[in-house]
Amino acid sequence: MAEFPIIEIKGVDKVFKLQDQTIHALAGANLTIAKGEFVCLIGASGCGKSTLLRIMAGFEQPTAGEALMWGKPIDGPDPTRGMVFQDYALFPWLSVRDNIGFGPASRGLPRSEVNAIADKFVELVGLQKFASAYPHQLSGGMKQRVAIARVLANDAQLVLMDEPFGALDAMTRERLQDELLEIWERTGLTVVFVTHSIEEAIFLAGRVVVMTPGPGRIESDNALDLPRPRDVASPEFNAIRRALGAKLHSHHGKKAAA
Amino acid sequence: MTAAWRRLKPTALALIVPLLLLAFWQMATANQWTRLIPTPYQVAEYMVDFAWGGIYDDAYSATLLTHLLASMSRVYGGFALAAMFALPIGLLIGRIPAARMVLDPFLQLMRPIPVTAWLPLSMILFGLGAKSAFALVCLGAFYPILLNTVFGVRSVDPKLFEAASMLGCKGNAQFFKVVLPAATPSIFTGLRLGLGLAWFVIVVGEMTGVPQGLGAVIMDGRTLSRTELVICGMIVIGVAGYISDRIVVATGNRLLRWSLTHHG
């Protein structure tokens, strides 16, 4: 297994047909992600970043090219690849504990073991007081903690996050970013994180993949070697922000010229 | 004072309209705007006799419980029968496109036909008496259960299927772990409406020549021009249907604590 990277995207095209419209969501995407990386995909809406993430999850199949995990084609969703959705997608009829235990329970583990795992991850995200609460009783930040915990509780090797903090207020977002980094550093997980915020990408990622729309393609792949914890007000941070911003908006110029 | 008022306020507000109606009824009969409708007092007196007897001692004295139990057995029996058919058919239509294409057009075509229209056919098919009453009540309760089940099954948030499958719950397992729980609030609404309609159609159901039941009492009252009997039957159906609905709602609030729409 070690000879293969955790994720390889090779020449992936994705075309959606909606009635009489054809949407070229992704054209010729190539991306390799090594185990333990924290990669952010950024770009304007319509750049295919979510499509690329959904292909990695196995929710979509590439129209052309291949998506591989450990060298094997991704042919459907799998517990090794956990997804965290922007709108949480928690099971509203299950308590926090049972939401987190959903994966282990689906694997057929005995009830006592499921509960033990669930309790461990309830604690990891600091929701002990809310273990018996239902999702509708939680704040957005707590819901997203549950969504992260249920993926971790299921032993996911790869965590795919689709603008997970996009619907949260600024303070909650910052706290969750810190907590996520802390979990990532501690567990050695691989994270692919979609966002449209340059700041968020620079704050979190070891690598920022910039994507441009129409059709969606990978514009550039930028390794960041800023030490953590990163100071969003530092000159280094700002320099990267400016450089990535220029790349993010470069396609406007190209379009105008074409 | 204010705490007591807060507790009594819902009851007080809910009583305004019935009391106004009662006052209007009293006024209308006292001023003899109509001679065919008895006064509230006469009806109340008859209700006591209907329930416990000892005032008129006629054929209907002290028979309320008998008729109520007869009607309840048909309402709950017909309702249970309706649920037995409507739930599986609804799940089938909601989940399997082929079943939807085969069954849905036919069921939609039958849906506008009122229960009253089925009365003659039902009496031919099931004979005079209790079987016909069951069939008609069942028919009345069938559609709300069916339609809400189909709606519940079809309106599961597609994200939940993705969430379940990435957590390792795939294929048929999703039916029990995602579809059914997600559809329970809708199914519950269907059952509640179905039970309400079962009470609603009980009078028609008991036009089929059954000797006992609140519907039968009302039909007898009509034939005998005993309007107080008719009104007593109406009140008992209203109260019984209301209590039955409150019990269902209370059960729902307990079972569906997770659902925001089922609080209240």
Q: Could you report the per-residue pLDDT of A8-51, keeping only the tens digit for each?
A: 999 999 999 888 888 889 999 999 999 999 999 999 888 899 99
Residues B106 and B213 in one domain: yes
**In the numeric block, which tokens belong to residue A103?**
């994966």
Rounded to the nearest 5°, which phi and psi values hold at A174? -60, -40
Report pLDDT digits (tens) over A196-219. 899 999 999 999 999 988 888 899
Q: Is residue B264 assigned to a domain?
A: no
Residues B33 and B45 in one domain: no
Residues 6+ apart with CB under 8 A from A70: A1, A4, A5, A6
Cα B28 to chain centroid distance, Å, stands at 31
Is pLDDT above 90 for A101? yes
Segment A121-127 shows an average pLDDT of 95
Is pLDDT above 80 for A250? no
Check CB contact under 8 Å for B166 and A89: no
Residues B13 and B88 in one domain: no
CA distances A93 to A3, A104, A161, A179, B180, Å, are: 43, 17, 23, 26, 11
| Mean of per-residue pLDDT scores for chain A | 92
Q: Is residue B262 assigned to a domain?
A: no
What residue numbers bound the domain in which B131 lies? 40-255
- Are residues A15 and A22 in contact, defined by beta-carbon separation less than 8 angstroms? yes
CA distance A100 to A117: 8
Report pLDDT digits (tens) over B152-196. 999 999 999 999 999 999 989 999 999 999 999 999 999 999 999
Interface with chain B: mutation pick from A50, A75, A80, A93, highest number of B CBs within 10 Å? A93
Within a 13 Å sphere around the CA of B177, how many CA atoms are in the beta-carbon half?
Answer: 24
Report pLDDT digits (tens) over B209-235. 889 999 999 999 999 999 999 999 999
Interface with chain A: mutation pick from B162, B167, B263, highest number of A CBs within 10 Å? B167
Q: Is residue B263 assigned to a domain?
A: no
Is pLDDT above 50 for A130? yes
Is pLDDT above 90 for A86? yes
Note whether B178 contacts A: Cβ–Cβ < 8 A: yes
Closest-CA distance of chain A to residue B180, Å: 11
CA distance B178 to B164: 8
- Are residues A95 and A131 in contact, defined by beta-carbon separation less than 8 angstroms? yes
CA distance B131 to A51: 58
Segment B30-52 shows an average pLDDT of 92
Q: How many domains does chain B have?
A: 2
Give the range among A14-23, A185-194, B68-77 with minimum mean pLDDT.
Answer: A14-23
Residues B146 and B225 in one domain: yes
Residues B60 and B31 in one domain: no
Is pLDDT above 70 for A179? yes
Q: Which of B160, B164, B166 sits opposite A82 (nearest CB)?
A: B166
DSSP state of A227: P
Residues 6+ apart with CB under 8 A from A95: A131, A132, A133, A134, B258
Q: Is residue B230 assigned to a domain?
A: yes
Q: Which pLDDT score, from 0 to 100, does residue A252 have? A: 63
Residues B174 and B195 in one domain: yes
CA distance A50 to A60: 11
CATH of the domain at B66: 1.10.3720.10
Question: Smallest Cα–Cα separation from A77: which of A180, A149, A154, A15?
Answer: A154
Q: Which pLDDT score, from 0 to 100, does residue B208 have? A: 84
CA distance B167 to B177: 12
Segment A241-257 shows an average pLDDT of 73
Beta bridge mates, A10: A66
The predicted complex's ipTM stands at: 0.91
Residues B119 and B208 in one domain: yes
Note whether B174 contacts A: Cβ–Cβ < 8 A: no
User: Residues, chain B, total?
Assistant: 264
Q: Which position has the higher pLDDT, A248 or A158?
A: A158
CB count, 10 Å around CB of B64? 21
Q: Which pLDDT score, from 0 to 100, does residue A256 have? A: 43
Residues B149 and B26 in one domain: no
Q: Is residue B158 assigned to a domain?
A: yes
- Are residues A54 and A5 in contact, defined by beta-carbon separation less than 8 angstroms? no
- Are residues B185 and B104 in contact, defined by beta-carbon separation less than 8 angstroms? no
**Sign of the C-alpha dihedral computed for residues A223, A229, A230 and A232 taken in this order:** positive
Residues 6+ apart with CB under 8 A from A60: A14, A51, A54
Report pLDDT digits (tens) over B83-122. 999 999 999 999 999 999 999 999 999 999 999 999 999 9
| Mean of per-residue pLDDT scores for chain B | 93
Residues B6 and B127 in one domain: no
Is pLDDT above 50 for A257? no
Q: Which of B160, B184, B258 sits opposite A89 (nearest CB)?
A: B160
